[in-house]
Amino acid sequence: MTDSSWAYPFSRSTDEHVDLSSQDAFNQGAPFATFERMRREDPVAWCTEDEGRGFWSITRHQDIVRLNRDRNTLSSAQGIRIEDQSPEEYEARKTFQETDPPEHTHFRMLVNDAFSRKSVGRFEERIREITAELIDRSIQMVDIDATYEIARQLPMRMLAQIIGIPEADTSWLVDNGDALISNADPDYTDFVVDKVDTEEYRLLPFRSPAAVELFDYANGLLKRIRAGEDVGVLNLVMQPTREGKVMSDGEFRNFFCLLVAAGNDTTRFSIAASIHALANQPELLESLRGASTEQLVTAADEMIRWASPTTHFRRTATRDFDYAGKQVRKGDKVVLWFLSGNRDETAIDSPYEIKLDRKPNPFISFGQGGPHVCLGMYLARLEVRIVLEELARRVARVEQVADHSYLRSNFILGIKRLPVRLTAR
Ligand code: HEM
């Protein structure tokens, strides 16, 4: 691995043969050295689990892209995380993300327009206002936890606006979103999924009791929509498709929980990773000053490659097949490590370096190329771009003033505490 010194704070520096099935696998940063060995020596590797039936790990960029496209061979319809689910659990917790075409395509058509580049582009000025407010306040506070004060606030406040949720409810929503998706970190939930008995909640999204309140909230939104209120894009989502299909109440509730989970910490951790990078490589901040919109778009993509906040998604083999000399059996779990693909030197030149002008950038943080490519991709890119732009405009220096720490999760990679000082320009 190329040692570009400061990059190690974002990763483990030695190959400790990390158990990728463990929720502790990423809590000292990403095990890039382990992935590097796997890409080199065993790119389609069988990994055992303490509690589970084992899974294939796909770690090379080209294999991830190829297999992610092959919707006939690899299905999302038996779960998308490493954990095993019973058919009953799967049915109760399923969202459209856990379905395959054509079922998936029908549903996706219901929501696509609401999150298109054009639709989210309408929020650019509001994103800028919120970002400017958060940065200016952080400058006043001198020493801050940038994840908490900036990165954690913006994505949910924006999502709340877009889906028509009152500003006053956002912090409640962020807390519940955290409890859902950060279900392995005791800082965010009392029901740590691999530590306490969550059997009672096994039919809820993420086995989390937070989903009960979120379901109630979603029911309230449904009432508002039916009463003719403007609930932002959620009104669009409840419109019939061209074929006349309308989302059911259950689908709506699960979709709402998915948005609150997916829209919450992925963008947060991309922003946190960006601020961490700007603190440790000040020349990056300099290079952003006066950059054109096009240059900022390119820079944001590179930061999202660097951050790779969703480490993997899982599929299940629909048939026996041979791949790279391995025999994958029908029903086997196959894990696509997007994070590893983003550091694959055969696809990405000098992948441990941040090149804000990287072009082309074949990064796969959003699952690009697959049928489930991220719905919130344009929104996330826009937010990260504006954060970079406003930091460059308002901040002279970002200094890291104490050690940072990582979320406990093998699904989401993120700096959950980032003590920094921002100095005004
Ligand atoms: C940098 C930020 C983000 C990253 C890295 C990210 C990553 C991903 C990835 C890798 C997938 C593909 C899953 C698969 O292949 O099974 C995905 C799907 C999805 N994302 Fe994101 N996401 C981000 C932001 C967002 C935001 C802001 C939202 C909500 C507004 C969102 C909502 C979704 C939804 C609903 C899906 C499921 C799409 C489908 O199954 O068709 N994401 N995301």
How far away, in angstroms, is 97 Cα from ligand 1 center? 9
Question: Percent of the chain, pLDDT > 90?
Answer: 63
pLDDT for res 76: 96
CB-based contacts of 241, cutoff 8 Å, min separation 6: 106, 109, 110
CA 134 to CA 38: how far, in whole Å? 41
pLDDT at residue 59 greater than cutoff 60: yes
* Contacts of 168 by beta carbon, 8 Å cutoff, 6+ apart: none
Residue 422 CA to ligand 1 center (angstroms) comes to: 30
Mutation pick for ligand 1 pocket among 154, 268, 333, 375 (CB with most ligand atoms within 8 Å): 375
SS (H, E, C) 239-260: CCCCCCCCCCHHHHHHHHHHHH
**Closest ligand 1 atom to the C-alpha of 315?**
16
Judge contact between 110 and 237, C-beta under 8 A: yes
Residue 5 confidence (pLDDT) above 50: no
Cβ neighbours for 24, distance < 8 A, ≥ 6 positions apart: 408, 410
Q: Which domains does the chain have, with CATH numbers?
A: 5-424 (1.10.630.10)
44-47 vs 326-328, strand pairing mode: unpaired
The predicted pLDDT at position 254 comes to 86
Cα–Cα distance measured from residue 307 to residue 305, given in angstroms and rounded to the nearest whole number: 6
**By alpha-carbon position, which residue is closest to atom 40 of ligand 1?**
97
Identify the pLDDT of residue 1. Answer: 37
Angle at 115 between CA 155 and CA 392, to 5 degrees: 45
Element (H, E) at 170: helix 170-181
Burial annotation 130-158 (CB, 10 A radius, 16+ → b, else e): bbeebbeebbeeeebbbbbbbbbbbbbbb
Ligand 1 first shell, C-beta below 6 A: 76, 80, 96-97, 108, 159, 258-259, 262-263, 266-267, 270, 304, 309-310, 313, 338, 365-367, 370, 372, 374-376, 379-380
pTM for the predicted model, two decimal places: 0.93
Distance CA 10, CA 410 (A): 15
Is the pLDDT assigned to residue 142 strictly greater than 60?
A: yes
Pocket test for ligand 1, best of 264, 366, 378 (most atoms within 8 A of CB): 366
* Residue of 74, 42, 64, 73 lying closest to 363 (CA atoms): 64
Q: Which residue's entry shows tokens 């297999």?
A: 67
DSSP character for 30?
B
C-alpha 154/C-alpha 131 separation (Å) is 7
The residue nearest atom 22 of ligand 1, judged by CA position, is 374
Model confidence over 334-380: pLDDT tens digits? 999 999 999 999 999 999 999 999 999 999 999 999 999 999 999 99
Q: Which atom of ligand 1 is nearest to the CA of 76?
A: 16
Residue 2 is predicted with a pLDDT of: 37
Q: Which residue has 């779960």 as its token pair?
A: 79
pLDDT-based confidence at residue 11 (cuts at 50, 70, 90) = low
Q: Is the pLDDT of residue 418 over 90?
A: yes
pLDDT tier, 10 (very low <50, low <70, confident <90, very high otherwise): low
Residue nearest (by alpha carbon) to ligand 1 atom 6: 366
